[in-house]
Structure 1
Amino acid sequence: MRSKRKVLGGIVYHCFNRANGRLRIFKKPGDFEAFENVLAEAIDRVDMRLHGYCVMGNHWHLVVQPRLDGDLSEFMKWLTGTHSHRWHRAHGTVGIGHVYQGRYRSFPVQSNKYYRTLMRYVEANPQKAKLVSRAVDWQWSSLAIRTGSKKPFKLCKPIIELGDGWVDGFDNLPEMPEKKIQNSIRRGAPFGDPEWTRQTAAKLGLESSIKPIGRPKI
């Protein structure tokens, strides 16, 4: 039986989920728009603060901040469940398989330079994946909203300033600790400086996520 996550309000989280079997569930504009509509409804239902997002062909990233303890679990359950139901209905596959590979993955992020790094990682995804030559050209992310090329969505004010050169920074992407971020996605490890990571892991019962993998040395 899966353990229940301990999720506290006020903390910023990165959330991620991928389609079952890496199926490309977002193909045409209507697929992306349908997910964004469900996301907007979920935000209204749970009063979630959305800092950033990016929807790709077979997965998506969200950077969110629940107001109350337990809100994130409620938000994600409704979001993925509702989107799965509507996707099946729209594609005539009701009762046939799962849309998502499983439960969403999440990790907390420190509200300082690590937050800014994570936001850059999320919004740069399409460019890193070579889906577009410039991240600003991808319409299914919060970056498109920041540049004004997409109608306003339900983004909240960044928890720290992203900087005047935020958009231009995607033309010359800085080095990002991708291995550390990928480890956090995979293991749920807090993303921040060592002391904050240790304290947050203890607070949320995530101690195992920051322990080295492998057999202990004798």
Structure 2
Amino acid sequence: MPRQKRIAKGNIVYHVLNRANGRLRIFKKDDDFRAFEQILAEAAERFDMRICGYCIMSNHWHLVLWPRADGDLSAFMKWLTGTHSHRWHAAHRTVGIGHLYQGRYKSFPVQDDTYYLTLMRYVESNPLRAKLVKRSADYLWSSLANRLGKDSPLELSDGPMPLPRRWTKLVDGAADLPEDEIKTCIQRGRPFGDSDWTHQTAKALSLESSLRPRGRPRKTTPN
């Protein structure tokens, strides 16, 4: 059965994630991380993409994107993953070995209010929750470090609402994040927002199936 074509409307915030094939560690050296940031910067300029947040881990990455027009997200992601795969294989002399990524990227739309801020905290606290650092700001390969002055080719965009004061402290206070809900959104492509917005957005983007329980419906026993 052919895969369902994605509907990616403009002016909606999206969380995007992709993993390396077989969970291969594709970001080992600083040069690996820097190369991906450079490709992100090139992609942002090429497609006029607003990159509000990101975090690059050893075998996957998270992006918070805010495309301007319909179809921009798909075009951006196709160029980003294709270019990174090509350059990574060339740099590591593994051309022809196999796919770098496990498959299509995962994405879900995000309501542009406090849900957006919650998602940004989730993305930027990833290294802290993985126990790689004691403070989120100590991890170099994220939008938090970028925002705090790390030298990077990537210029971040403002999001649909400003980050609160003492943002770094809020990112570090990750214990209250709805991780299970966000992971469900990642796995199923479910919109992340309040109930009314979630249902309206699911209908507009043909994501109604993401709201339904998985598995076959239970058979009812006749009286």
Gaps of at least 5 residues in structure 2 are none
Structure 2 CA distance for partners of 1:68 and 1:171, relative to 1, 3 Å: closer
State the AA in 1 paired with 2:35. Answer: A
Can you list the C-alpha shifts for 1:6-25, whole angstroms capped at 9, x where unaligned? 11000000000000000000
State the AA in 2 paired with 1:86. Answer: R
User: Residue 80 of structure 1 aligns with which residue?
Assistant: 81
Residue 38, structure 1, aligned to residue 39, structure 2: yes
State the AA in 2 paired with 1:91. Answer: H
How many pairs were matched up?
218
Residue 124, structure 1, aligned to residue 125, structure 2: yes
Conservation of the 8 A alpha-carbon contact between 1:145 and 1:152: no
State the AA in 2 paired with 1:213. Answer: R
Conservation of the 8 A alpha-carbon contact between 1:147 and 1:167: no
User: Residue 5 of structure 2 aligns with which residue?
Assistant: 4
Distance 2:170 2:108 in 1: 25
Quote how far apart the aligned CAs of 1:153 are: 2.8
Residue 15, structure 1, aligned to residue 20, structure 2: no
User: Residue 56 of structure 1 aligns with which residue?
Assistant: 57
State the AA in 1 paired with 2:139. Answer: W
Quote how far apart the aligned CAs of 1:62 are: 0.2
User: Residue 162 of structure 2 aligns with which residue?
Assistant: 161
User: Residue 147 of structure 2 aligns with which residue?
Assistant: 146
Quote how far apart the aligned CAs of 1:152 are: 6.7
Conservation of the 8 A alpha-carbon contact between 2:14 and 2:65: yes
RMSD: 1.1
Point out 4+ residue stretches in structure 1 off by more than 6 angstroms: none
Quote how far apart the aligned CAs of 1:151 are: 4.0
Q: Report the identity percentage.
A: 62
User: Residue 93 of structure 2 aligns with which residue?
Assistant: 92
Structure 2 CA distance for partners of 1:174 and 1:166, relative to 1, 3 Å: farther
Distance 2:153 2:100 in 1: 28
Query: Aligned to 2:176, what secondary structure does the other structure show?
Result: coil
Distance 1:41 1:62 in 2: 15
Can you list the C-alpha shifts for 1:72-93, whole angstroms capped at 9, x where unaligned? 0000000000000000000000
User: Residue 113 of structure 1 aligns with which residue?
Assistant: 114
Residue 47, structure 1, aligned to residue 45, structure 2: no
Distance 1:172 1:27 in 2: 27
Compare CA radii of gyration and give the structure with the larger one.
Answer: 2
Distance 1:215 1:148 in 2: 51
Structure 2 CA distance for partners of 1:186 and 1:122, relative to 1, 3 Å: same
Q: Which one is further off, 63-72 or 166-175?
A: 166-175
Quote how far apart the aligned CAs of 1:192 are: 0.3
Distance 1:98 1:151 in 2: 27
Query: Aligned to 1:35, what secondary structure does the other structure show?
Result: helix
Distance 1:48 1:56 in 2: 21
User: Residue 103 of structure 2 aligns with which residue?
Assistant: 102
Distance 1:176 1:215 in 2: 30
Distance 2:172 2:91 in 1: 37
Can you list the C-alpha shifts for 1:191-212, whole angstroms capped at 9, x where unaligned? 0001100000000000001111
Conservation of the 8 A alpha-carbon contact between 1:134 and 1:170: no
Query: Aligned to 1:116, what secondary structure does the other structure show?
Result: helix
Distance 1:156 1:113 in 2: 17
Distance 1:85 1:194 in 2: 41
The alignment's TM-score, normalised by the length of structure 2, stands at: 0.95
